Amino acid sequence: MTAPARDAPAGSPGAVPILMYHAVAYEPAPAARALSVSPRDFAAQMALLAERGRTPLTTAALGEAWRRGTPLPPRPVLVTFDDGYEGVHRHALRALAAHGLTATVFVSTGWLRGRPGTGGAPERMLEWRQVRELAAAGLEIGGHSHSHPQLDQVDRGRLVTEVERCREITAEETGTAPVSFAYPFGYSNRAVRGAVREAGFTQALAVRNAEARRAQGPYALARLTVRRTTGIDEFGRLLDGTGIGRAYAVDRVLTKGYALVRRARSATRAVRR
């Protein structure tokens, strides 16, 4: 797993907030509830982005700018969605369009509806027709693996299959090969990042609950989790970088503990091989 962030102070120059959403629904399934937001809250959050003069970017646009060293637009922000929940099309697209905002949708191809062999998702998922409509509306479609496993805990063969199959299916269904990836659960290690790069993705997002900076590297960019409990005042502080430490204090302690456990598991598997 990526080491815990040792970033510059929140809100410092060069920092970009990358917001991580999941389901957008009034009554999400229990398994998806904590990492969901209501359509009303999402609309209010997007209105606040616009009110504060934030410039929306896709993940591909941010990655390209940082690779080339070109200046970013004023007050940049990224809106991202993981997994591919149907509410992104039903609810979020309308709110984004109302303010001229764009976003990146990271899809787990084995969870989406419309192809044989799909299933296992915790909530109603997008159909590929809807994914194509999101792309036509200007949203970026990125990869999020095929069946959403913890990629740092699977063997090399499955790791490669999960990443490459996701990219291939997305390219077949949308006509464009995705260039951005988000790690399921935010977990990655050197092998995972290498597989993502080798598959043709040019940037990838973790979680880390910190602002993104160019120095993090293109395959370990940090994001900020938006939950159902994230109120509008807290959301505003996350945008400004002033409330990040307080909002995610418990998460960071847990992340350090998880990192130790996951490294121990990986080492045990390596010995057994």
Residue extents of the structural domains in the chain: 18-272
Identify the band that residue 90 occupies on the pLDDT scale cut at 50, 70 and 90: very high
Per-residue confidence (pLDDT) for residue 252, from 0 to 100: 54
Whether pLDDT at 221 is above 90: yes
Whether pLDDT at 206 is above 60: yes
Dihedral pair phi/psi, residue 34, rounded to 5° = -60, -40
User: What is the fold of 18-272?
Assistant: TIM Barrel (3.20.20)
Identify the band that residue 4 occupies on the pLDDT scale cut at 50, 70 and 90: very low
Round the average pLDDT of the chain to a whole number and report it. Answer: 90
Q: What is the mean pLDDT of residues 31-40?
A: 95
Per-residue confidence (pLDDT) for residue 243, from 0 to 100: 85
Q: What is the pTM of this model?
A: 0.89
Tokens of 176: 């464009």
β-strands 76-83, 203-208 pairing: unpaired
Helical axes 232-240 vs 39-51, angle rounded to 10° = 40
Whether pLDDT at 127 is above 50: yes
Per-residue confidence (pLDDT) for residue 270, from 0 to 100: 52
Per-residue confidence (pLDDT) for residue 246, from 0 to 100: 84
In this predicted model, what pLDDT tens digit does every residue of 64-89 receive, in sequence order? 999 999 999 999 999 999 999 999 99
Least trusted range by pLDDT, from 31-35, 118-122, 148-152: 118-122
In sequence order, what are the residues at sequence separation of 6 or more whose Cβ sits closer than 8 angstroms to the Cβ of residue 241?
9, 10, 11, 12, 15, 17, 211
